[in-house]
Structure 1
């Protein structure tokens, strides 16, 4: 669990560096991985492991958003970041500009903060 949070923090730092340097597509990609790794840590609290990116999104939504443990906006953040990451990584002509990248990094930061708050009781115990 701690390893996923460490990885998420590293990706958050990288996304900020990329945003400031004008590398907007890669900033968006790294922002997604902040939420992806953070969500994987959350899934572990219920003993859940997903084998795909979509699986992480689906399990997080089903077990943590629909149950009210996380606000619906965090399910949207994870889904939006995944879609934007796929667009930035795979599409030749994208509309990833500074505003889109900045928004993605902000969503990733907020997602990670919510996850860290949720995980406090789990991390204190071990």
Structure 2
């Protein structure tokens, strides 16, 4: 007997391997797009907005890493917590990645909501480089885990 649309049979997994792969791919794409946008915003003279996009680049890549284990958070702090708990504390990923992510999260909040806080171009570029290095490490982790959708982002021409 067919099951009503939107409902799964008792015992059927909520997330299939196909949907997990599609979700990881979507997060990787969003992360890479956000990092490219951050670079473009910096070049256009918008350092605060660059830092925000750099944070979201890492945010989406961290979400992709979480999804490989079927983990999803309901909030930004939840993403940070699950990432630390399941990937950093267990030694699967370097603690420097979690520190970079937390630092960018704080800077994003300051850049978005503080009237007095402004990034210089140099400061924003420094944070973007940190984000790009962390992103490269996360993408390598995904590739090593057999997630081929985590292809390197296209390099921009100098």
| TM-score when normalising by structure 1 | 0.94
> Aligned runs of 1:13-92 on 2, under 5 Å?
13-92=36-115
Aligned counterpart in structure 2 of residue 119 of structure 1, from 142, 148, 156:
142
Whether the aligned pair in 1 keeps the contact of 2:55 and 2:131 (CA below 8 Å) is yes
- Distance in 1 between residues matched to 2:27 and 2:127, nearest whole Å: 19
RMSD of aligned Cα (Å): 1.3
Instruction: Return the match for 1:7 from 3, 7, 30.
Output: 30
Structure showing greater Rg:
2
Count of residues in Structure 1 that have an aligned counterpart in Structure 2:
125
- Tell me how far apart the structure 1 counterparts of residues 126 and 148 of structure 2 sit (CA, whole Å): 31
Greater helix share, structure number: 1
Which of 114, 121, 142 aligns to 1:98? It is 121
- Cα distance in structure 2, aligned partners of 1:50 and 1:122: 23
Partner of 2:4: none
Take 2:101 and 2:90, find their aligned partners in 1: how far apart are those partners? 16
Gaps of 5+ in 1: none
1:124: Cα distance to partner? 3.7
